[in-house]
Amino acid sequence: MLVNFTPTLQIYMRQVTIYTTDKDYNQFIELARNLRYVKKIETDDEPTKEEIIENLKRGFVEMQLFKKGKLKTKSAEEFLNEL
């Protein structure tokens, strides 16, 4: 009896959190980016200029929708009561 067996390789991704000084931060990030096995790097860096501009544009669009009555908002009192 011949059985066709194809082994499957399961790859598990692991996550590492590293706390480092501001002095060593940029050097460490550059090192991590150059490691072939690092698939993704998430940092708590400040938003880029492009991200800030995009957020401002989105805010202006929402403000225009509110002014036209197409977007419902909450009062400051309602917002604070939810907290």
Express each pLDDT in 7-22 by its tens digit.
667 777 788 888 888 8
**In-domain check, residue 15:** no
**In-domain check, residue 34:** yes
The pLDDT assigned to 61 comes to 93
Q: Tokens 């907290």 — which residue? A: 83
Q: Report the mean per-residue pLDDT for the chain.
A: 84
**In-domain check, residue 30:** yes
Locate all alpha helices (DSSP H) within 1-83, ordered by sequence.
22-33, 49-67, 76-82
Q: Which domain holds residue 76?
A: 22-82
CB burial class (10 A; 0-12, 13-18, 19+) of residue 49?
exposed
The total number of structural domains in the chain stands at 1
**In-domain check, residue 52:** yes
**In-domain check, residue 29:** yes
Q: Which residue numbers in the chain have pLDDT < 70?
A: 1-8
**In-domain check, residue 14:** no
